[in-house]
Amino acid sequence: MAIGILLVGGFGTRLKPLTNQTPKPMLPIGGLPVTEHQLLAAKKAGINTVILATSYLSEVFIPYFGDGSKWGMKLLYAVEKEPLGTGGAIRNAAAMVGFSQSSEDFVIFNGDVLSKHDIAAQLDFHKANSADATLHLIEVADARAFGCVPTDSVGRVTDFLEKMDNPITNDINAGCYVFSPSVISEIPEGKVISIERETFPQLVKSGRPVYGYREQSYWLDIGTPAALFRGSRDFVAGDFMAGVGTKIASDCIITGGSSIGAGSSIGTGSVITNSIVGDGVFIGDNCTITDSFILHNCQIASGTEIIGKYISPTENLPISTQ
């Protein structure tokens, strides 16, 4: 069965300050890290071995995910001392499972994407075309911030144009690729390589079979605070949700698709609107929390008003969730 690689080593610059202490893929959606949602999607497609390609704040992943047995999966960790770029990270991670002898396909996931597309169908499409690489494509209204990927009438990719001002199609790279192992062995080892700016354009130019699997299901890159909050609200799909063991006083008003983690406590008279609250957070009485992100293990004193803020145990900084 295919082997998964999760690209989780980026700096999450556009999400700052939310990524000051938390790597982007460990930010919570509905109380679970983005990575956990992706692992569950991979498992559903029959992918049981996944390598996490980590770099920035790599030490945060292992205590949470361990060897993967809690999810019935086998998880491995490839750590880049300095980020190797998306291509270098894939090459480095695949080397952990001896890809040169492998006959297994690899499924690569950008680590900041929530997608409900059918990964097993994408793998079948890859095999049916005897492709070298197969990219999940999705149509968006504005393609400028993404990899623009035109295809021909049978779905063959004809170009790959990363982030352009005048996109030639609205079909974009949705950040989930199937690679045949032979292609991975062609990525130079130990070098900083961009899969988007180097590998894909080269494969297409040299006439290799690269295909686009087009599926228009729920899809979101959570790479900005506004997108993360949208993803969280989409997941909650109602006034609010709260994790196991969280105690909420009966007169609290929690709305706007807020998400409260596990083992937290919210005191009497508090009002929480469009906010993300982590695990083990203590919120006192009569607090107002609006458009804010409260990291795990924070203590908020009674009567505090927090509007448009990122709060961690050591930080208090403004954010915009719009």
- What does the binding site for ligand GDD look like in residue numbers (CB under 6 A)? 7-10, 24, 53-55, 80, 83-86, 89, 110-113, 146-147, 162, 172-173, 175, 196, 221, 223
Which of 146/240 has CB closer to ligand GDD?
146
Q: How far is it, in rounded angstroms, from Cα 26 to Cα 111?
A: 9
Indicate whether 225 belongs to the interface with Mg ion (CB under 5 A). no
Indicate whether 196 belongs to the interface with Mg ion (CB under 5 A). no
Contact status, residue 33 vs residue 134, Cβ threshold 8 Å:
no
Shortest Cβ distance from residue 60 to ligand GDD (Å)? Answer: 13
The 10 Å Cβ neighbour count of residue 5 is: 31
Give residues 85-124 in contact with Mg ion (rule: CB under 5 A).
Answer: 112
Contact status, residue 320 vs residue 290, Cβ threshold 8 Å:
no
Which of 12/267 has CB closer to Mg ion?
12
Shortest Cβ distance from residue 271 to Mg ion (Å)? Answer: 33
| Residue 55 contacts which entry, ligand GDD, Mg ion, none (Cβ below 5-8 A, type-dependent) | ligand GDD
Which string of DSSP letters, residue by residue, matches 89-126?
HHHHHHGGGTTTT--S-EEEEETTEEE-S-HHHHHHHH
Shortest Cβ distance from residue 231 to Mg ion (Å)? Answer: 12
User: If we measure between CA atoms, which residue out of 182, 196, 20, 208 comes closest to residue 101?
Assistant: 182
CA atoms within 13 A on the CB side of 299: 1
Shortest Cβ distance from residue 196 to Mg ion (Å)? Answer: 11
Site for Mg ion (CB under 5 A): which residue of 223, 231, 261, 278?
223
Which of 137/283 has CB closer to ligand GDD?
137
Residues in the chain: 322
Q: How far is it, in rounded angstroms, from Cα 100 to Cα 94?
A: 9
Is residue 17 reached through a cis peptide bond, with omega within 30 degrees of 0 on the bond before it? yes
| Residue 270 contacts which entry, ligand GDD, Mg ion, none (Cβ below 5-8 A, type-dependent) | none
Which of 36/291 has CB closer to ligand GDD?
36
Which of 18/89 has CB closer to ligand GDD?
89
Which of 61/99 has CB closer to Mg ion?
61
Q: How far is it, in rounded angstroms, from Cα 304 to Cα 183?
A: 55
Contact set with Mg ion (CB under 5 A): 112, 221, 223
